[in-house]
Amino acid sequence: MPTRKVSLSYGEVMDIQIITREGEPEYAVLPWAQYQALLKAAGINQQPAPDAPVHRTATPDQILPGLDQLRSLREGKGIAIEALARTVGISPSYLALIESGERLPDAAIRRSLAWELTVPGWRDES
């Protein structure tokens, strides 16, 4: 993945790697020291440890959709069952069984479904 040199208004030059998905920029990756310099320039003085794990779990006031809502989530995003199944790496008939509650997907399939449907809580379940 290509790395770009970006000059900031305050004179800093940053090496930023742009990660795209379907031709659109999705993430920007930069060295930790440059990230810290960016935070400092923005007036943010937090410096979490670079190796500190980040866990996102549901809070009691955050209601996450259950797998029983998979079909409505998929349809709400306008994704055909065949397209989602192909992207996740399973057959459309198996996805239909998951949507109907007849099968429970393993953690890897849940993570893939979560990624495609942008449901962060499903990624945390193991």
Count CB atoms within 10 A of the CB of residue 14.
Answer: 18
The whole-number pLDDT of residue 125 equals 45
**pLDDT of residue 62 exceeding 90:** no
Q: pLDDT-based confidence at 92, cuts 50/70/90? A: very high
**Ramachandran area for residue 22 (φ above 0: left; ψ -120 to 50: alpha; else beta):** left
| Helical pair 81-88 and 107-117, crossing angle rounded to 10 deg | 130
The whole-number pLDDT of residue 10 equals 57
DSSP string, 30-64: --HHHHHHHHHHTT------TT--------TTPPP
For residue 4, give the nearest of 16, 12, 22 by alpha carbon.
16
6: Cβ contacts below 8 Å, ≥ 6 apart: 13, 14, 16
Range of weakest confidence among 16-30, 52-66, 72-86: 52-66
Q: Where exactly are the structural domains of the chain? A: 3-41, 67-124
Q: pLDDT-based confidence at 87, cuts 50/70/90? A: very high
**Mean pLDDT across 36-41:** 78
For residue 70, give the nearest of 99, 109, 108, 112 by alpha carbon.
99
Q: Is the domain defined by 67-124 classed in CATH 1.10.3720.10? A: no
